[in-house]
Amino acid sequence: MTKEELMREAIRLSVENVAHGGGPFGAVIARKGEIVATGVNRVTHDCDPTAHAEICAIRAAAAALGTFHLQGCEIYTSCEPCPMCLGAIYWAHIDKVYYGNTKTDAQRIGFDDSFIYDELELPAVERRLKSEGLLRDEALRAFEEWTDKADKVEY
- Catalytic residue numbers, as ranges: 54
Q: State whether residue 27 is helix, strand or coil.
A: strand
Contact 68, 62 (CB under 8 A): yes
User: What's the longest Cα–Cα distance across the chain?
Assistant: 52
- Percent of the chain that is helix, strand, coil (3-state, to 5): 50, 15, 35
